[in-house]
Amino acid sequence: MGSISKKIVISGYYGFHNSGDEAVLKSILLALEAEGQRQGVRIEPVVLSINPPLTEKLYGVKAVHRMKLSEVRQAIRESDGLISGGGSLLQDATGLKSIPYYLGVIKLAQWAGKPTFIYSQGIGPVHRRVFYPLIRGVFRKCDYISVRDVESRDLLRRIGVAPDRIGVVPDPVIAMPLPEALPRDAAAGAGTDRPVVGVSVRFWNKDRSDLDRLVQGLARIAAERAVRFHFLPFHLPSDEEASVYVMERLRTAAAGSDLETSLYGGSEDPQAMLAEVSACSLLIGMRLHSLIYAAGQSVPVMGISYDPKIDHFMNRLGMKSAATTEQLDTHAFGAEAVSLLDGREAWIRSKESVIEELKAQAVRPAQEIVSFYAKRVKGW
């Protein structure tokens, strides 16, 4: 264990039953623990969560309710600093409350004189320029800033944050390891000798036209190859409902094919989902973290873009999204899936160095944050 102890509050979208955001938290906790052991600093996390009992149960850390101001302020006052991240916290695409909330938490820490750190955030989209001065003012007073793609860095630069203060690192989830208690041949591949195609979907278009097009794409794959489509709900319960929507229509669309489907029952532990993904031969995903899970486990990916963050991640792999929520070419989609299934080993070899570099870069924020405290203690 470390020779000194530092209590750090971690702010993010935690406790909402979203496997991707839970994986972000898990990855940050693991990286801080490992780096703390290496540098002789014991990190004591305090997580701001919408469901503190669940967060405490899953990760063995202290948690306080993120919407109870008195608890948040007390946790910050008693801390040695605050981490905000990762995920897409500062964006106004899903509503007007996210940016003020997350900036407000950071500002509370700054008013209390605590160091503040931005941990691999995806910034934007920020459609309302009224938020620009708020972001600029808070970020200028942060002790460390890292974002998960160059597009986020460029947006911060336009907002007025000095680019030389912004580190670009991958999403921390790319470095999340498989759980020791769960084998690589997880339930996704159990009971079949077929290649398993993981499918992560979400509701996006109100008329469900995006999912209807995906049904046709999956039906095309089923016509070309005998596979099992294994649906992986990342955000409960909505993704489970979206999965059932696709599965029901796929049975009709692929009626002439030897169709095999399954639906993952779900787990609150993101590493359990990671094990499930690792057993797939191919992952088709709308959820960003489904693609990150897969790439981190050397599973070929096909991204369906509903947000620029999907394209940004695919670009880091040297790939393009296979479709969008507005357009999907059935024949091209099926051909790409078959090509990746048949050329899986070649894909793994071609992406090996890129993925390993992403994993190495993903832990840099933890290294920088722990080093910040280690240097203070040593008087550097």
Query: Domain for residue 155, yes or no?
Result: yes
Say whether both 161 and 209 belong to one domain: no
Query: Domain for residue 28, yes or no?
Result: yes
The structural domain count of the chain equals 2
Query: Domain for residue 210, yes or no?
Result: yes
Say whether both 285 and 159 belong to one domain: no
Q: What is the CATH number of the domain that holds 101?
A: 3.40.50.2000
Say whether both 148 and 208 belong to one domain: no
Say whether both 304 and 336 belong to one domain: yes
Distance CA 313, CA 293 (A): 12
Can you give the pLDDT of all 380 residues of the chain as single tens digits? Answer: 446 999 999 999 999 999 899 999 999 999 999 999 999 999 999 999 999 999 999 999 999 999 999 999 999 999 999 999 988 999 998 889 999 999 999 999 999 999 999 999 999 999 999 999 999 999 999 999 999 999 999 999 999 999 999 999 999 999 999 987 655 445 666 677 899 999 999 999 999 999 999 999 999 999 999 999 999 999 999 999 999 999 999 999 999 899 999 999 877 789 999 999 999 999 999 999 999 999 999 999 999 999 999 999 999 999 999 999 999 999 999 999 999 999 999 999 999 999 999 999 999 999 999 999 998 766 65
pLDDT at 303: 98
pLDDT at 181: 64
Query: Domain for residue 353, yes or no?
Result: no
pLDDT at 189: 63
Say whether both 327 and 366 belong to one domain: no
Query: Domain for residue 106, yes or no?
Result: yes
pLDDT at 185: 47
Say whether both 14 and 152 belong to one domain: yes
Q: What is the side-by-side strand order in the sheet with 4-11?
A: 62-65, 41-49, 4-11, 81-87, 116-121, 144-147, 166-168
Q: Determine the structural domain holding residue 318 and report its residue range.
A: 187-342
Token digits of residue 200: 């992560």
Say whether both 26 and 119 belong to one domain: yes
Say whether both 298 and 191 belong to one domain: yes
Which residues, other chains included, contact 285 with Cβ-Cβ below 8 Å and sequence gap of 6+? 198, 199, 200, 291, 294, 301, 302, 303, 304
Whole-structure pTM value: 0.90
**47 within 8 A of 25, measured Cβ to Cβ:** yes
Query: Domain for residue 351, yes or no?
Result: no
Say whether both 225 and 267 belong to one domain: yes
pLDDT at 184: 47
Say whether both 261 and 220 belong to one domain: yes
pLDDT at 186: 52
Place of tokens 């290649």: 195
Query: Domain for residue 331, yes or no?
Result: yes
Say whether both 234 and 310 belong to one domain: yes
Say whether both 193 and 163 belong to one domain: no
DSSP 178: P
Query: Domain for residue 273, yes or no?
Result: yes
CA dist 253 to 198, 233, 324, Å? 18, 21, 20
